[in-house]
A and B are shown apart, each in its own frame.
Chain A
């Protein structure tokens, strides 16, 4: 069976788990601990209890998951994934499951089950596409997050995610860049832009009193096509005459604690950003192109409580600046491009943008259309709130997961091929650091050039009339 030799990410080392307050190794009594953790999670989160109880096994979600479509592994069907947690929940928390486990599909949490949890809950990118197919909106991502948090509580964490969370707590960003290195990077960007435009466009860091604190994924500091996006933000803010700054205390928009399903760590990372804003005395937060970061940011009021305002998306701001004529774009500077938009799952299905419902789908399209001569769409059912995950979300973006990442990108690649062959698309724009990295790496395996992958703000930066 294909099912048994499935992908699994490297396990976190004991030190990195302990740094996050989790046990470093599987404890003796891991079964009891895991079941207790499941009980706590379900009590705290009625929506999880609903998702575990309401499934009627109708199969409407059967073909919704890119991981299933790409691998063909039935264990990657959304309902099969949910059932791994559901079966254990049934066994321990329902009368029928305690009395007649076989009858109702209840299973014990034994070692084999633990293995399956570790593998299948790490093949889910928490993209929620399946939830839009389920008549009851059952959200597998929520179940995956719960399962991963339970795994962490018994010392089974995913290496890259655990390390990244520890790093952001320590240094303020996923890369572990210190303020000096960051300033240095920004200096060289200023130089590049001066050469390109002949203008002094600043990349301010830690400047108190700026109007806007810009928070962006740290990928924007070091590799393409991400850096070009950062240049795009700087140019737009410069052209609009808005004073802004980055922060070395919060030099990261990404919040990998969402992937782990740890509310506590998610809050801690989010709070850093709030602290930075307070320290610098900036009243407005703007987020750069990062999918899951935007989902978390969109939820700041609920997450951080009090009167924390909702941050703004850089695309929303740019859209407004274009709309009222403060900045002007010249699409002919992107001549020859026909660009299709890959909606990032966490933007399309996990958040909103601007003031109108559906803004998270319309605003990126409007900005893109203003920046390039021609835009095209991929087939219906693969975009908008039905967008396919890039295959690298949810913490899957590691080398050891490459095979599943390539396969998971297959549905998106097929849709892109239709846009290329049918409508002459030359590029695909993404608004998420993970999507951009993932596509740059895996699209070549599907016969595309890695240079096809661009960011919207990158294109805006090129089209901007300074």
Chain B
């Protein structure tokens, strides 16, 4: 099983790299720059990662998204054996809470339902299932079976992600319009 998980993870990394290469190419042929001259000048990496504008425009979305992504990052580190005891519980809480909020608003708000495809729900569900099965294994029903379920879900996630909208990740730094116009 561990081998399978590792293989699936390698597949994920390969997929990310392959899809990222597309955006490293400079745009050609188009005469009008895609940059947005957003006030305050160049968007630094810090600004890019903090999404200050989103914080002001939609604080609850910002919070849910930060909780989910922060929790995910913490749990990734924990899986790599970096401070697992410190990171596990808060990471899981943040990830599950954030995902539940994201899923809830997508289900409840008519505007959100309207712009969502089935895959938008399924991806959130898959992530939530991963987080919940991991939490179950750690704290509720430890044992072989729980671990297998969690690992199986992990493999599915790694295989699906390269085909998903995961691409928003490199976009944080590589987005053409977030390259500021005044270059």
Chain A interface residues toward B at CB < 8 A: 44-47, 49-51, 53-60, 62, 74, 77, 79-80, 83, 94-96, 102-105, 128, 131-133, 135-139, 142, 258, 263, 266-267, 270, 295-296, 299, 302-304, 348-352, 357-358, 360-361, 384-385
In the assembly, what is the distance between CA of A352 and CA of B181, in Å? 8
Tell me the interface secondary structure of chain A in the complex. helix
Residue of B nearest to A58 (CB): B61
19 A-B pairs with C-beta separation under 8 A: A45-B27, A47-B27, A50-B167, A50-B171, A56-B165, A96-B163, A103-B117, A104-B117, A105-B118, A132-B36, A135-B168, A135-B172, A136-B178, A263-B30, A295-B32, A296-B31, A299-B32, A350-B32, A385-B39
Known contacts A46-B176, A137-B178, A358-B39, then 16 further A-B pairs from the complex at CB < 8 Å, ordered by chain A residue: A47-B30, A50-B175, A53-B165, A59-B61, A59-B105, A59-B109, A62-B115, A77-B111, A77-B115, A103-B117, A138-B175, A296-B31, A303-B31, A349-B36, A352-B182, A357-B180
Q: Which of A54, A79, A136, A263 contacts B115 (CB 8 A)?
A: A79
Q: Which of A44, A59, A352 contacts B28 (CB 8 A)?
A: A44
Q: Say yes or no for B81: interface residue by CB 8 A criterion.
A: no
Contact B23 A96 (CB under 8 A): no
Contact B111 A57 (CB under 8 A): no
In the assembly, what is the distance between CA of A349 and CA of B53, in Å? 15
Q: Say yes or no for B156: interface residue by CB 8 A criterion.
A: no
What is the number of contacts between chain A and chain B, taking CB atoms within 8 Å? 164
Q: Say yes or no for B54: interface residue by CB 8 A criterion.
A: yes
Contact A80 B114 (CB under 8 A): yes
Q: Say yes or no for B112: interface residue by CB 8 A criterion.
A: yes
Contact B27 A46 (CB under 8 A): yes
Contact B177 A357 (CB under 8 A): no
Residue of A nearest to B64 (CB): A58
Q: Closest CB of chain A to B97's CB: distance in Å?
A: 17
Q: Closest CB of chain A to B113's CB: distance in Å?
A: 10
List the B side residues contacting A96 at CB < 8 Å: 119, 163-164
Q: Say yes or no for B57: interface residue by CB 8 A criterion.
A: yes
Contact B171 A136 (CB under 8 A): yes
Q: Given A128-B36, A385-B36, answer yes or no on A54-B167 (Cβ-Cβ < 8 Å).
A: yes
In the assembly, what is the distance between CA of A317 and CA of B31, in Å? 25
In the assembly, what is the distance between CA of A453 and CA of B112, in Å? 38
Q: Closest CB of chain A to B29's CB: distance in Å?
A: 5
Q: Restricting to B59-111, which residues have a CB under 8 Å from any CB of A?
A: 61, 65, 105-106, 109, 111
Q: Say yes or no for B22: interface residue by CB 8 A criterion.
A: yes
Q: Closest CB of chain B to A366's CB: distance in Å?
A: 16
In the assembly, what is the distance between CA of A318 and CA of B168, in Å? 43
List the B side residues contacting A348 at CB < 8 Å: 37
Q: Say yes or no for B18: interface residue by CB 8 A criterion.
A: no
Residue of B nearest to A94 (CB): B163
Q: Given A46-B27, A62-B111, A83-B115, answer yes or no on A95-B168 (Cβ-Cβ < 8 Å).
A: no
Contact A46 B163 (CB under 8 A): no
List the A side residues contacting B181 at CB < 8 Å: 351-352
